[in-house]
Amino acid sequence: MDVFELRNRLVEDYGSYVRSFIRIKDTRIEEEVKESLDEGLLWPDPLIQLNPSFETGDRIDDLVDEGILHEECDTIFRAGKDRGDGTEPFHDPIRTPDRSTSGKGTNPFFVEFYADTAAGMQDLEAREHTAQVPYEVREEREQRFRKGSCEGGLQILYCSPTMELGVDISELNAVNLRNVPPTPANYAQRSGRAGRSGQPALVFAYCSIGSSHDQYFFKRPERMVAGAVSPPRLDLANEDLVRAHVQAVWLTETGQSLGRSLKDVLDVDSEEPSLELRDWVHQSLADAGARRRAHQRAGRVLASVEEELRDAPWYTEGWLDEVLDGVERAFNASCDRWRTPLQGGASPAGDAEQDHRRRFP
């Protein structure tokens, strides 16, 4: 690609766009504007920068002493320099050019924490535990987390708010919330992870200065910690919910396991894999007997919410038949999201089974 040609093409397109709005009746003004645009008034010449080979030079503090660099550069670039004793607050000359003489001093709690307390935490290890971490890595971290403070154990896990843990947390004794949860119900869910089986637990939440929500509950903590929790509500006539339940009943009746990943479900073994359902998977999903049994079980489920379904605009007497008639096709279609990256040459790695279970409508 010729970047200069691309630049010229963009300028021409932009010039045509700008000129399309110009309607000047006075010919003299029109000529003046046209001439200015032709000279590149709105699109300056491209900036060309060369990247030379740099040589090792003097240290930052030496350049400051010689007056080559501004004196504040010695404060900004502090690699290998003394970090101070915490008695003087940090000053960022970029954000605040003039140092305030009336500002607050350092927080003695954090000064002591970083100077003394933190030194005793050098052996602590923390790792992420979210859906972004590969399945095998999460499993290994869960096993280490069970060991706790024993040799090879993992003491801290950084988790998403829902704490996607398939891990025994009966001995968890501390939870740190990086912000104040949205509602008391969320607080109860997240803080309730610790202190089970009658054990004491410590729960503390960080209240951000820049968050009005956090600051509100920082001043009124009882409204979050002891606030009213609204009972959960569930729309029994939600079509997506009912459809997912019917499909789950059908999948159970087929006896088909999804394995550890979709590699156990799709054909990915040959040099040019078809990515179609494996033969034995197709046979189990096409089992007419499984579909009849699923129809009977699902019919009993729908009968239990008959009153709610009666007022649902999407529900008809033939709805269950339509869902089960197309359930195999829907299952196959839900695999397309996994097929697409493979057809583009991506690796079939990842927790595909979890993704498939989550997206099978």
3-state SS record for 157-208: EEECCCCCCCCCCCCCCEEEECCCCCCHHHHHHHHCCCCCCCCCCEEEECCC
Percent of the chain with pLDDT over 70: 81
Arithmetic mean of pLDDT, 11-19: 77
Residue 333 has pLDDT above 80, yes or no: yes
d(CA 345, CA 361): 26
Top mean-pLDDT range of 47-51, 179-183, 265-269, 339-343: 179-183
Residue 185 has pLDDT above 50, yes or no: yes
Arithmetic mean of pLDDT, 319-330: 91
Residue 30: pLDDT band (50, 70, 90) is confident
pLDDT on residue 163 = 59
**Span of 22-31, 277-286, 350-359 with lowest mean pLDDT:** 350-359
pLDDT on residue 354 = 47
**CA-to-CA dists, residue 236 to 70, 233, 329, angstroms:** 68, 9, 25
Greater confidence, 129 or 91? Answer: 129
From the list 66, 67, 114, the residue with the least C-alpha distance to 90 is: 114
What is the token pair recorded at 130? 């979210």
d(CA 337, CA 344): 12
**Span of 131-140, 187-196, 236-245 with lowest mean pLDDT:** 187-196
From the list 129, 116, 125, 163, the residue with the least C-alpha distance to 147 is: 125
Residue 304 has pLDDT above 80, yes or no: yes
Residue 247: pLDDT band (50, 70, 90) is very high
Backbone dihedral angles phi then psi of residue 157, each to the nearest 5 degrees: -120, 130
Rounded mean pLDDT of the chain?
Answer: 79
HSE-CB of 307 using CA atoms within 13 angstroms: 1
From the list 305, 322, 317, 319, the residue with the least C-alpha distance to 237 is: 305
* CB-based contacts of 28, cutoff 8 Å, min separation 6: none
Residue 352 has pLDDT above 50, yes or no: no
Cβ atoms 250, 327 nearer than 8 A: yes
Arithmetic mean of pLDDT, 135-155: 83
What is the token pair recorded at 303? 């009968």
d(CA 35, CA 29): 10
Residue 218 has pLDDT above 80, yes or no: yes
Residue 240: pLDDT band (50, 70, 90) is very high
Q: Identity (one letter) of the amino acid at 59?
A: R
Residue 302 has pLDDT above 90, yes or no: yes
d(CA 344, CA 101): 60
**Span of 70-74, 94-98, 305-309, 354-358 with lowest mean pLDDT:** 354-358
pLDDT on residue 46 = 66
Residue 239: pLDDT band (50, 70, 90) is very high
3-state SS record for 16-38: HHHHCCCCCCCHHHHHHHHHHHH
Question: How does strand 156-159 pair with strand 174-177?
Answer: unpaired
pLDDT on residue 321 = 94
d(CA 246, CA 330): 12
**CA-to-CA dists, residue 2 to 7, 9, 150, angstroms:** 9, 11, 60
pLDDT on residue 301 = 92
pLDDT on residue 351 = 44
Cβ atoms 158, 128 nearer than 8 A: yes
pLDDT on residue 44 = 67
Residue 162: pLDDT band (50, 70, 90) is low
* CB-based contacts of 226, cutoff 8 Å, min separation 6: 184
| Number of C-beta neighbours around residue 298 at 10 A | 21
What is the token pair recorded at 214? 């956090």
H-assigned helices in the chain: 3-19, 27-38, 60-65, 73-76, 108-115, 135-147, 184-191, 212-219, 222-225, 239-254, 279-285, 288-304, 306-310, 319-325, 327-334, 336-343, 352-359
Question: What's the pLDDT tens digit per position in 226-235?
Answer: 878 878 788 8
Q: Identity (one letter) of the amino acid at 292?
A: R
Q: Which long-range contacts (CB under 8 A, 24 or more apart) does 171-176 make?
A: 171/199, 172/196, 172/201, 173/199, 173/200, 173/201, 173/202, 174/201, 174/202, 174/203, 175/201, 175/202, 175/203, 175/204, 176/204, 176/205, 176/206
d(CA 265, CA 279): 9
